[in-house]
A and B are shown apart, each in its own frame.
Chain A
Amino acid sequence: MSFDEAFLDALVAALHRLKIDAVIVGNTASILHGAAVLTQDVDIVVRDTALNRKKLMKLAVELGGVETRLTDPSSSLDVRRIVNLSVPIDVMFNRIGGGLRFESLRARSVKISVGTQRATVASLEDVIASKEAAGRKKDLAVLPILRDTLAINRAREKREKKI
């Protein structure tokens, strides 16, 4: 297992162990859908409950990290970041950019195998919508490759349905 896959495997396993219902979003989701991009962190979204906030502290401890609040003046989102890991993990509550709420993301998500685990991953359409809404240069820069990936995925799915 590569370092990257092992990291994601450990994260998803810890989420399952702690019974945290989380959806992977952002560029990690894009890569799992086949987009040829790279990222510096893992973004996940969870329901905003007192229990989930407690569980996130446990998640940080289990992974050997420290939970901090991420201050981003350009965003109104409440984001917690688990740091002191090889790859930081950003946790968003209830919603992400583009007005996408946890329930909608969850309903449209897909399961993708990562190492020994099955990860819940936001649809590529939702990742694109969130990046369009975020509108930062780094988000806009990856949009063409994400749109091309979506077009290729749709063309391949269409063919599979015909067969």
Chain B
Amino acid sequence: MTRRELKTLMKTIDREMKRLRPLLPEIDPHDMHLILLQKMRPVGSRRFFIRAHGDGFVF
């Protein structure tokens, strides 16, 4: 994602947070932010897999 796209995404998430927090007070705000960040970003920029790589793992 470009810097501009990322800024727009963060603004959109902030707006969604303000709207959703009163509706879902039982959800931890940090968890909500994490979920919205994952949900609202394009599928292509989401992380799906932990893969074995050499002696360790990579995302």
Contacts and interface: CB of A to CB of B under 8 A. Distances in A.
B35 A36 contact: yes
A148 B46 contact: no
B44 A39 contact: no
Interface stretch (A95-103, A108-116, A131-139): A108-116
B14 to A, nearest CB: 15
B38 interface: yes
Interface residues of A, number: 32
A84 interface: no
Interface of B: 16, 19-20, 23-24, 26-28, 31-32, 34-40, 43-51, 59
6 contacts: A7-B48, A36-B34, A87-B51, A148-B27, A148-B32, A151-B24
Interface of A: 1-5, 7-8, 28, 31-36, 38-40, 86-87, 112-115, 145, 148-149, 151-153, 155-156, 159
Given A152-B27, A152-B39, 12 more contacts: A5-B44, A31-B38, A34-B36, A34-B40, A35-B38, A38-B47, A86-B51, A87-B51, A113-B43, A145-B31, A145-B35, A148-B24
